[in-house]
Amino acid sequence: MNNSYLESASKQFKYYKSLGDKTFEQLNFDELQKELTQDSNSISIIVKHLVGNMLSRWTNFLNEDGEKPWRDRDFEFVDSYTSKRELIDNWNTGWDCLFNALNQLTIDNLNNIIYIRNEGHTVTEAINRQLCHYAYHVGQIVFLGKLIKGTDWKSLSIPKGDSSKYNQDKFDKEKTRKHFTDDL
């Protein structure tokens, strides 16, 4: 395995962050806090959980267990944000922690063993675990945003009915080797 794995993982994380960012742009603070059913999670709560997870997992990533003693996971599911700005600032703090840790890794680290709740993972496995976890929750954020906005939602992917046009545009171009997010 070479450095392309770390580059690809970083691009994937950036892609999922951008989906969250683009969702937040479409919503006001009340919409971010909206719980669609009793005991469901609002976007605000999902963000708080993701930030708590990121700070715990990526702080001292190679040297400390990913489940920090200072993390209060249960409190992550209590909406305590007081503004959209606070939510976005926290969101960015979590992602900054992740990218700072990821940017310090080299291919020589990929087989190192790190721990999450005393369970050993290679660095590669830990990255994959978090990438999947964040994609899952960002998908929830986007879906909730789409439900909340209804017909006012601005699509973050290929809009319904535009697949043929999108594919034709892609196939009209020369074959290239690049990451799918390079044009976003």
Alpha-carbon dihedral angle through residues 167, 170, 9, 159, given to the nearest 10 degrees: -40
Residue 172 within a domain: no
pLDDT score recorded for residue 95: 98
pLDDT score recorded for residue 1: 43
Query: Do residues 148 and 30 make contact, with C-beta atoms less than 8 angstroms apart?
Result: no
Residue 139 within a domain: yes
Q: Is 79 helix (H, G, I), strand (E, B) or coil?
A: coil
Residue 54 within a domain: yes
Residues contacting 174, CB < 8 A, separation 6+:
none
Residue 165 within a domain: no
Residue 181 within a domain: no
Residue 31 within a domain: yes
pLDDT in tens, 50-60: 999 999 999 99
Per DSSP, which regions of the chain are E strands?
A: 113-116, 119-122
Nearest to 140 by CA among 73, 57, 55, 49: 49
pLDDT score recorded for residue 87: 98
Query: Do residues 39 and 28 make contact, with C-beta atoms less than 8 angstroms apart?
Result: no
Q: Average pLDDT for residues 31-47, to the nearest whole number?
A: 96
Residue 66 within a domain: yes
Counting the structural domains of the chain, the total is 1
**pLDDT higher than threshold 80 for residue 2:** no
pLDDT in tens, 132-153: 999 999 999 999 999 999 999 9
pLDDT in tens, 66-123: 999 999 999 999 999 999 999 999 999 999 999 999 999 999 999 999 999 999 999 9
Query: Domain residues for 12?
Result: 4-156
Residue 77 within a domain: yes
Please give the model's pTM, rounded to 2 decimal places: 0.94
The enclosing domain of 91 has a CATH number of: 1.20.120.450
